[in-house]
Structure 1
Amino acid sequence: MKTTLQRIGMILFMTGFVFSVCAQEMEVTGTVYDAHDKSPLVGVTVQVKGTQNGTVTDVNGRYRIKVEKGNTLSFSYIGYLVQEIKVNKLHLDVYLKPDKVALEEVVVVAFGTQKKNAVAGSVMRVADQSYYLPSVIFPYPREVNTEEYEAFKENRFLSTIQHPLSTFSLDVDGASYSNIRRMINQGQMPSKDVVRVEEIVNYFSYDYPQPSDGYPVRIVTETAVCPWNKKHNMVHIGVKAKEIPSETLPVSNFVFLLDVSGSMFSANKLPLVKASMKLLVNNLRPKDQVAIVTYAGAAGEVLPSTSASDKQKIMEALDNLQAGGSTAGGAGIQLAYKIAEKNLVKGGNNRVILCTDGDFNVGVSSLTELESLIESKRKSGVFLTVLGYGMGNYKDNKLQTLAQKGNGNHAYIDNLQEANKVLVNEFGGTMYAVAKDVKLQVEFNPNFVNAYRLIGYESRLLNDEDFNDDTKDAGELGAGHTVTALYEIVPVGVDVPVGNVDKLKYQQTKNDVSLPKFADSKELLTVKLRYKEPDKDVSRKLEVPVLANRMNLNASQDFNFAMAAAMFGQLLRNSDFKGDAEYSDVIRLARKGLGNDPNGYRHEFIRLVEAVEQLEK
């Protein structure tokens, strides 16, 4: 009897052991390559089939994921065939084949996919209405589109006589471009409110000369014929911030403020956030420090301020993050600033890095409340970087408010390659300010300019008197950053595309012959710039005149590319001022402006325009 019981016990034990082995969790690592040229693929979605467990490949194409033995891993990437592999070993390299048919013929439409020639103008414009994201193209959970973008009217032409001054805050953000790229790569045409032209232009760096004479910024100017209206001219204003080698940057006191609410569950949200922050941590110095604050239904400190020399501790804290719950973003912001102020490094780089889809729904959540909250925090000496993630419920309008009102900048991270650009390649520009409250004011000479139009910057316009008011907030410039502004001007003698009003009864108008003539000057315009040093409250001013006879018949490569980017944005918005521009003109002008493109961003832009040209046929 005893022997029989022992045998039964042994059988039960062995059965349990077998089941245990079958259900054994293992950590699988590997690299995902392009099957054609064997190059590693960045940002590939690696997901356990039938679950929400997923990750994305890093800048070297590598991935790491925990999975039960026998489960199936799905590898998916836009433009490639999905590959599914049953897990039976710890190391698994994957070679994805390009899906030429999908790239050439398929576009995303409401509730499914169609052949391109069958759509006939029905391609969805994101944010116009709700739709479901088809998993055949983008393998994330289906969700109703509730993305939000701030509506705005584009700048119109202004009469130089009536409006001689143009004043605005500089904008170094490039979030709109990467968001547009995400949509186009999925076969979707963005709605006009997604398109902020200045952010398309400023996504790219330009080869402007370094500042001199002890100033942290420098102004460069150029004029040329307008490519979409040959009767008009273009004025190119470039601003370059001084470059600082990464190793000599001041000590960084970072607080990662990470959204771990339920809306961040998808593989292109929290897993991508964690991978992005790991890229940043890997490039920090031992003297830098990192704290981690998370928020869902409530906010909490996950990691107290920790030296970047203990990278393993920071990485483990990131690995342990899980998504779930509602979104108390306001509480998270308050706690993050409190911790940043507690560990403030005098003369250092003190910054909160917020990673979220912007879907705040608990506590402080409205645009007005968020604006008031962030304005109260910007006096703390702590700067703000806002990184947007995800799709379907992305709240661009809220993240724009946070960045604009809180001495901040804003980027949209659609894949790990973009995270590497923003957090590694452009670390100084993104993470360390050399000038704050940077404003531009341009005065036009009515002897030569009938009217002018600032291209973009609609959300950054200031009153003329704000230029000399040091209490008015404006944009920040990071180390090595370039900022570009473009004006389309109507020369004297060319019809002015502006409205008119009846002659005034109670005061003289400026075109009254009894008024004095304009000053006799050979200057086309004057560019003025105000800025403050990061730890100062009093601004300094730079001033550069532009002569009327400096028209360049052969625009520089940077000017050509900037004009191509602006033309692309105007076409996407179907602008009233796009003139006779076509996508083929954008491609031609961009190719003239390729110049030195070490990271391939300008070449990628041309491919993107080519894709839109096909979608619009």
Structure 2
Amino acid sequence: ENTFKRVADAPLTTFSIDVDRAAYSNVRRFLNDGLMPPVGAVRVEEMINYFHYDYTEPTGAHPFEVGSTVVDSPWNPDLKLVHIGLQGKRINTAELPPSNLVFLLDVSGSMSSSNKLPLVKSAFNLLVDQLRPEDQVAIVVYAGAAGMVLPPTSGAEKMKLKEAINNLNAGGSTAGGAGIKLAYKTALKSFIEGGNNRVVLATDGDFNVGVSSDAGLQELIEEKRDQGVFLSVLGFGMGNYKDNKMEVLADKGNGNYAYIDNFMEAKKVFVNEFGGTLFTIAKDVKLQVEFNPKQVEAYRLIGYENRKLNNEDFNDDQKDAGDMGAGHSVTAIYEVVPRGVTTDYVKAVDALKYQKTDETKASKSDEWMTVKLRYKQPDAATSVKFEHIVRPGLEEINNDAQFSIAVAQFGLLLRDSEFKGQASYDAVIELAKKSKGDDEEGYRAEFIKLVKAARLIDNRTARK
């Protein structure tokens, strides 16, 4: 878990965006089964980013907009939260580039249970319904040996695509590596210049990679990514489900990663968020924040523990980072100690003897921090940079920011964070109810039910 850093010691913090949402649906599965999730499964940023937020739409040259708000921390009243929201450009389906998709489906024996292959079929039928005539899909399966079920077929032939999906049966051992090689070979053979070329992998994660090693598999995925074929990963079922492994594969493949635990989640991923799931509008998106030591004593980033980058990585266009899909929103929340506030989270150190502390003009301003952002266009090798300045204002915090803060607080409780302060399940429920807003799909109402479930289940004071 990220700890507080003194601005005097570390004024810069750099990280990659994370548009994966799998942690939330995985946490939901545990709670619905009457179990507290393991701490390692609670990736707070993925829980926050699971929800749709109506942040300000981009209107300029960049494919996403950034906004910020400074508010009091509900769980540490002396501290502040800096809420940063990125909103990707929404694109009508008709305006999206043509897709060249390869469905890579795990049909091994471990996929036979009702929450695996049957749910895969339902999910991919939903995806087929979103396809247009200019899109094409091939279907590759793997179980012991890899095989082509359907060569590249137009999105107009929906009955043919659905029939191929619905006729699949589970059985046999798994050799995922052979399947992924065939999937990439198929995608490259039918590559669409300027299109969306992507392998969509569905698995319970219980496969022997067959590429000699995990490292070999990652290298293969990176190589094909650099050739223009991205990878999205969908996890199904439980048991041997390799959560971290699936996330790493998607990250290496410039794709996203979702965990589908029920039909409504399939609808969310393939219908409600179709563009964001399958169409990249900005790749290698990085944030670097510089804090003003005259305004901020210390800070910590909530979540993003496995997304941290070295500060020098920000300007390195060879360094891979997360990708943003059409219409996606991304949220990052910093907990900050304002200058002059004392807290047990930040221990005093002696003044430095040899360091100069010259003030700049900017340091004397009311600016709290500068957020620098870098991204590449989907087909570009060189990044674009722009900046956003954060200063506390009088703006009203909206429902979206409030709700994301409620989710962050819930994550701190599930992790039994040392920084949870006065956080409580009751406080999360109250804030979530107050900020539920127009919850047409019911996701926020479901969140409140999950918090109530966790309140009943979590009867221990410390969870390691």
Normalised to the residue count of structure 1, the TM-score between the two structures is 0.72
Contact 1:184 1:190 in 2 (8 A): yes
Are 2:117 and 1:270 equivalent residues in the alignment?
Answer: yes
Deviations 1:536-593 (A, max 9, x none): 111111211112x4265x5221111011000001100101111110000001111121
Paired AA for residue 366 in structure 2: K
Distance 1:522 1:503, change over 3 A: closer
Kept in 2, the 8 Å contact 1:326–1:362? The answer is no
In 2, are the aligned partners of 1:370 and 1:401 still within 8 Å (CA)? Answer: no
Aligned pair 1:550/2:393, yes or no? yes
Give the residue type in structure 2 aligned to 1:159: R
Residues 536 and 503 of structure 1: CA distance in aligned 2, closer, same or farther (over 3 Å):
same
Aligned to 2:132: 285
8 Å Cα contact 2:209/2:217 also seen in 1: no
Residue number in structure 2 paired with 1:303: 150
Contact residue 385 and residue 410 of structure 1 kept, 8 A: yes
Q: Deviations over 1:100-154 (max 9, x none)?
A: xxxxxxxxxxxxxxxxxxxxxxxxxxxxxxxxxxxxxxxxxxxxxxxxxxxxxx1
Matched, 1:525 2:372: no
Instruction: Note if 1:332 corresponds to 2:179.
Output: yes
Answering whether residue 407 of structure 2 is matched by residue 559 of structure 1, we say no
- Counterparts of 1:364-513 in structure 2, within 5 Å, are 364=211, 366-495=213-342, 497-499=345-347, 508=353, 510=355
Identity %: 59
Tell me which residue corresponds to 1:608: 450
| Stretches of structure 2 lacking an aligned partner (at least 5 in a row) | 460-464
What letter is aligned with 1:466?
A: D
Residue 364 of structure 2 aligns to a residue whose secondary structure is coil
CA distance in 2, matches of 1:275, 1:601: 20
Report the equivalent of 2:197.
350
Q: Is the 2:177–2:208 contact (alpha carbons within 8 Å) kept by the matching residues of 1? A: no
Alignment of 1:176-187 (within 5 A): 176-187=23-34
User: Residue 503 of structure 1 contacts residue 509 of structure 1 at CA under 8 Å; is this kept in 2?
Assistant: no
Q: Aligned pair 1:536/2:380, yes or no?
A: yes
Q: Which amino acid aligns with 1:259?
A: D
Query: TM-score by structure 2 length?
Result: 0.95
CA offsets per residue over residues 280-302 of structure 1, 9 Å max, x none?
10221122111001111122211
Residue 595 (structure 1) aligned with residue 431 (structure 2): no
Structure 1 position 498, deviation (Å): 3.5
Segments of 5+ residues of structure 1 without an aligned counterpart are 1-153
Match of 1:81 in 2: none
CA contact (8 A) 1:224 1:551 kept: no
Counterpart CA distance in 2 for 1:551 and 1:571 is 30
SS at 1:523 equivalent: coil
State the alpha-carbon separation in 2 of the partners of residues 368 and 576 from structure 1.
34
Q: Which has the higher contact order (CA 8 A, sep 6+)?
A: 2
CA apart distance, 1:439: 0.7
User: Counterparts of 1:63-142 in structure 2 under 5 Å?
Assistant: none
User: In 2, are the aligned partners of 1:433 and 1:477 still within 8 Å (CA)?
Assistant: yes
Deviates more, 1:363-372 or 1:594-603: 363-372
Matched, 1:582 2:424: yes
Aligned equivalent of 1:225: 72
RMSD, aligned α-carbons: 1.6
Supply the AA of the counterpart residue of 1:199.
Answer: E
Q: Does 1:157 align with 2:4?
A: yes
Report the alpha carbon displacement of residue 501 of structure 1 after superposing the two structures with TM.
6.5
Q: Is the 8 A contact 2:72 2:81 kept in 1?
A: yes
SS in 2 for 1:543: strand
For the Cα contact (< 8 Å) 1:359–1:395, is it kept in 2? yes
Encode CA deviations 1:491-510: one digit per residue, 9 max, x unaligned.
11122523567788xxx454
CA gap of 1:515–1:311, structure 2 versus 1, over 3 A, is: closer
Q: Structure 1 pair 421/515, CA: closer, same or farther in 2 (3 Å)? A: closer
| Runs of 4+ in structure 1 over 6 Å off | 500-504
Contact 1:255 1:352 in 2 (8 A): yes
Q: Deviation of residue 176 (structure 1)?
A: 0.4
Q: Match for residue 236 of structure 1?
A: 83
Amino acid in the other structure paired with 1:581: A
Q: Distance in 1 between matches of 2:137 and 2:266?
A: 18
SS where residue 399 of structure 1 aligns? helix
Distance of 1:210 and 1:245 partners within structure 2: 14
**Residues 407 and 161 of structure 1, relative CA distance in 2, 3 Å threshold:** same
CA distance in 1, matches of 2:45, 2:87: 16
